[in-house]
Amino acid sequence: MQKIFNLFDFKQKVDYKIEVLSGLTVAIALIPEAVAFALIAGLSPLTGLYAAFIMGIITSIFGGRPGMISGATGAVAVVFLGLVETLKSMNPDITVDEITQYVFITVILAGVIQMIAGFLKLGKLMRLVPQPVIFGFVNGLAIIIFMSQLPQFTVDSTVKDSPWMQGEQLYMFLGLVLLTILIIWSLPKLTKAFPPGLAAILVIFGLVYFFGIETSTVGDIASVSGGFPIPSVPDIPFTIDTLLMVLPYSAIVAGVGLIESLLTLNIIDEITGTRGKSNKEAIAQGSANILSGFFLGMGGCAMLGQSLINISSGSRARLSGIIAAIALLIFVMYGANIIEQLPMAALTGLMIMVAVGTFEWASFKTLRRMPKSDVMVMILVTVVTVLLHNLALAVLVGVIIAALVFAWDNAKRIRARKRIDENGVKHYEIYGPLFFGSTTIFNSKFDIKNDPDEIVIDFHESRVVDMSAIETLNKLTERYQKLGKTVHLKHLSPDCRKLLKNADEIIDVNILEDPNYKVISDDFD
């Protein structure tokens, strides 16, 4: 029983009123997002709503970050567009129901991949994501959230290229949006006892309902009415061909989901001053996606916008996410008529404020202090995120460029101090890392032809990082040996000595002084 209490954070001080109200706010905000993302993928709105329920409740209970919200996301929905196109190219007569079955199996396999990543503790790879990439990711996501609200200012947001609102219709909708923004901005200055997002939604709903204001509602997008999701096995042919077709999309969904979830976890960590568990979150995301596929959901991952709504409403525990998931399902099963009357202006204003809160405005202040390469990486990640709506690709591009810049900078840092001692032995004291990027400069430091018969290469202030460096040392010592000269390599790590071909003949080193670093180390958690 105590373990169950611990899951709900009953072991720590929790403001239950704030948790419940925050959960209700998130549940309301989840509905239009889940519906919209399902429609983007060409699926039934209920697949998005069921995914939001399953993802939300599983990750809230078992995830590695209390307060973080998961559900159906646009990043995952975009991946399914490619799957849908592939299926239609193979069978032009395929129905939406048949496509949906393939989506379910894709989500299940993605969940398996995510759980494997969690068990292998690959969450630590998020440490390789530099701060400029995180800034670019967050800023790009904020712009996407803002831009995704613009269709609400059209006559019919469900129709592509629908004309913009005009006249009284536009002024009324814009006025309600601005009033929503004003309430969310001003209420925390007066009291923190009630979530400002929920207060704004209730006020706008009251105005529209009691004054009979004509404006677009959730029901204008799609019906959110449904029953409890009944578990079922995807109805597809279980063959090798099917596996090979969906596996690439499953891998992309898994990667996108993990990257977005773990980056969201890091951002929430910074806001709350606490530390989540990335590997635990990966396992929870994976198990949630597996169940989502069996419970008629399109899968998903962590949602930065809804997570920020939850955190800004005062939630710090798991209870709010559980309340949000259960409330969402109750709305679908019993409260669809009421939810479908919610004005889209209120939800639009709420998401605009989320976009404003998501954007890292502090990144502008650091532009002058950041290296130009970091500024370039940040802007590039932002642009790729906005243009392609592919968060995983944007982060991957940013990490690769940041790594290349780092390698280039370090390649220029290798130095060699040269001296000849009283015995006529020439010493090369190496400074800086020796790796694939610095091997050319390293070789240029040696005067093999004119060096004396005996030389010492000291790595006390250097590190041999990779196999390119080892091979460079092998070739360098071989060139000296061909001229009949003796080389002593000092202060190399044991694994480096083992990898050198001529170690017994050329290495002269005091083991007690030897550094304990390795060529490639993975000793951190």
pLDDT of 518 higher than 60: no
Provide the 8-state DSSP code for 228.
P
CA distance 85 to 91: 10
For the purposes of burial, counting CB atoms within 10 Å of the CB of 431, is it exposed (0-12), middle (13-18) or buried (19 or more)? middle
Lowest mean pLDDT among 34-43, 373-382, 428-437: 34-43
172-187 confidence digits (pLDDT tens): 999 999 999 999 999 8
Q: What is the DSSP string of 145-207?
A: HHHTTGGGGBS-TTSTTPPBP-HHHHHHHHHHHHHHHHHHHHHHHH-SSS-HHHHHHHHHHHH
Residue that wins the pLDDT comparison between 466 and 310: 310
The torsion of the CA quartet 511, 513, 516, 520, rounded to 10 degrees, works out to -80
pLDDT level of residue 241 (50, 70, 90 thresholds): very high
- Split at pLDDT 50, 70, 90, the class of 12 is low
Strands 486-490, 454-464: pairing is: parallel
Distance CA 345, CA 220 (A): 12
Q: What is the pLDDT of residue 8?
A: 47
**Fold designation for 412-513:** Transcription Regulator spoIIAA (3.30.750)
Pairing of strands 415-420, 486-490: unpaired
Number of other residues whose CB lies within 10 A of the CB of residue 522: 6
Report phi then psi at 122, rounded to 5.
-80, -5
Greater confidence (196 vs 63) lies with: 63
The per-residue pLDDT for 511 is: 35
Cβ partners under 8 Å of residue 418, min gap 6: 426, 427, 428, 429, 445
Give the integer Cα–Cα distance in Å for 185 and 167: 27
Instruction: Decide: 38 and 298 in contact? Cβ < 8 Å.
Output: yes
pLDDT tens digits for range 480-491: 989 999 888 888
Q: Is residue 460 a contact partner of residue 514, using CB atoms and an 8 Å limit?
A: no
Residue 365 clears pLDDT 90, i.e. is over it: no
For 39, 50, 74, 238, the CA distances from 352, given in Å and listed in that order, are: 21, 25, 16, 44
> Average pLDDT, whole number, for the chain?
86
Confidence band for 516, pLDDT divided at 50, 70 and 90: low
Q: 485: left (phi > 0), else alpha (psi -120 to 50), else beta?
A: beta
Q: 7 pLDDT exceeds 60?
A: no
Instruction: Identify whether the C-beta of residue 485 lies closer than 8 Å to the C-beta of residue 453.
Output: yes
Q: Which residue has the higher pLDDT, 303 or 159?
A: 303
Check whether 212 has a pLDDT greater than 70.
Answer: yes
Would you say 69 and 326 are in contact if contact means Cβ atoms under 8 Å apart? no
Q: 213-238: b or e for each residue (b if 16 or more CB lie within 10 Å)?
A: eebbbbbebbebbbeebeeeebeeee
- Asked if the model's pLDDT at residue 292 lies above 60, the reply is yes
pTM here is 0.74
80/85 Cα distance (integer angstroms): 9
- Residues 31 and 218: beta-carbon distance below 8 Å: yes
Residue 1's pLDDT is 40
Range(s) of the chain covered by CATH 3.30.750.24? 412-513
- Please report the pLDDT score of residue 519 as a whole number: 52
Q: What sign results for the dihedral spanned by CA atoms 387, 391, 397, 403?
A: positive
How many whole angstroms separate alpha carbon 388 and alpha carbon 200? 32
Closest CA to 262 of 390, 362, 395, 357: 395
